[in-house]
Amino acid sequence: MSLKSKSNTITILIHILTWVVLGFSLFLYQPLTWDIVLPYQFWIKQALIIIMLVASFYVNSIVLVPAYLLKNRTGMYFVFVIVLIATVLVLNNFFDRSLNMHQLMDTAIHKHGQPRHGDKNRIFDYAIIFIMALVLGISTSITAIQKWQSDIRLREALEQDKISSELSFLKAQINPHFFFNTLNNIYALTHINAETSRKAIHQLSRMMRYVLYDTQHGTALLSQEIAFIKDYINLMELRLTDKVTVTFNSPTTVNDMTVAPMIFLPFVENAFKHGISATLPSSILISVEQHAEKLELRVENSIYKDNNTNLEENKGIGLTNTIRRLDLLYAGKYTLDLKEDTTANNYKVHLTLNLS
């Protein structure tokens, strides 16, 4: 049995149990405590009243509330409710006449010296009206609450679909962006060292396997992400001169946790894009630290005017999309500090993620 079928079965059983308890409490318990012998017609009448109440409940819940009240046709809704209550009262009087209830009950009660049934008939009609109002009120409340909860779930599902679609779009932009830049670097290598370029292509294929296949579920292990960053740094180092110093620090032992794939790459990529010079000494520091469920990425690089005078004004597709991904995936659970120090001629990135 599927989860949905099981849930529906439980709901039906709860409804049946509720009506059994309600029917017994309102229409069976008190007559059973009377010290008189009641005719069988009385129990038929009580059963008919319960059936009318059940029918009224579901007519209101399934037809009237969705068709009128929830569509802001309040006037029509109350007209039909009054008609429904009036119908129950008419049927109640019809059953009384058909079953000859007045005479039978008067005879049964008179034998025990009780007040005549006719004196209580009007009170009984008022009780039916009160019980009908109560049943319809409960029916309306339950239906309205269910509709409200259904609307909330629908909005959440639509919002989740929207976020998932946006994340897929952002990731689809990041991957070609990374791939395009890396191919440019390898193309430059082919003019310098064919053997090194072949090694770079092999390393790129391994990285793309991670991008295309290992991250399809939207998450990756932290150890995989760190390994990917290492491969990327090694790939970039193939074309660097001795004037560039690259330092990469990572935890010796990684406590594996799931993380958004390629969430670090744009920060590292920008460091290589804007922080190196072919003629001047330059340095890049990349550090990944893990403290329990807290993850920190630090990237520091030199700034060269011939590359980009202001990184804040030219973040590129990768960095812009990464910030958007952070907003969607780690809302309220991340801090990102980007600092450009023109005096010290360096650029710093400090990203903190709470993975709890």
Lowest model confidence (mean pLDDT) among 24-38, 108-122, 311-325: 108-122
How does pLDDT run across 232-269, given as a tens digit for each residue?
Answer: 888 888 777 788 889 999 998 888 898 888 888 888 88
Q: From residue 24, how far is each of 18, 28, 29, 43, 131 by CA, in Å?
A: 10, 5, 6, 12, 14
Q: What is the model's pLDDT at position 116?
A: 47
Q: Which of 120, 48, 36, 58 is nearest to 90 (CA)?
A: 48
Q: From residue 83, how far is each of 46, 71, 79, 126 by CA, in Å?
A: 22, 19, 6, 16
pLDDT greater than 50 at residue 288 = yes
Identify the band that residue 308 occupies on the pLDDT scale cut at 50, 70 and 90. very low
Range list for CATH 3.30.565.10 in the chain = 192-354
Tokens of 329: 């995936």
pTM of the model: 0.53
How does pLDDT run across 17-70, given as a tens digit for each residue?
Answer: 777 777 666 666 556 556 556 667 777 877 888 888 888 988 988 899 998 888
Q: Which of 134, 24, 46, 34 is nearest to 96 (CA)?
A: 46
Q: Which CATH architecture has domain 192-354?
A: 2-Layer Sandwich (3.30)
The values of phi and psi at residue 292, to 5°, are 55, -115
How does pLDDT run across 165-199, given as a tens digit for each residue?
Answer: 555 655 555 556 667 767 777 777 777 777 777 87
pLDDT greater than 80 at residue 110 = no
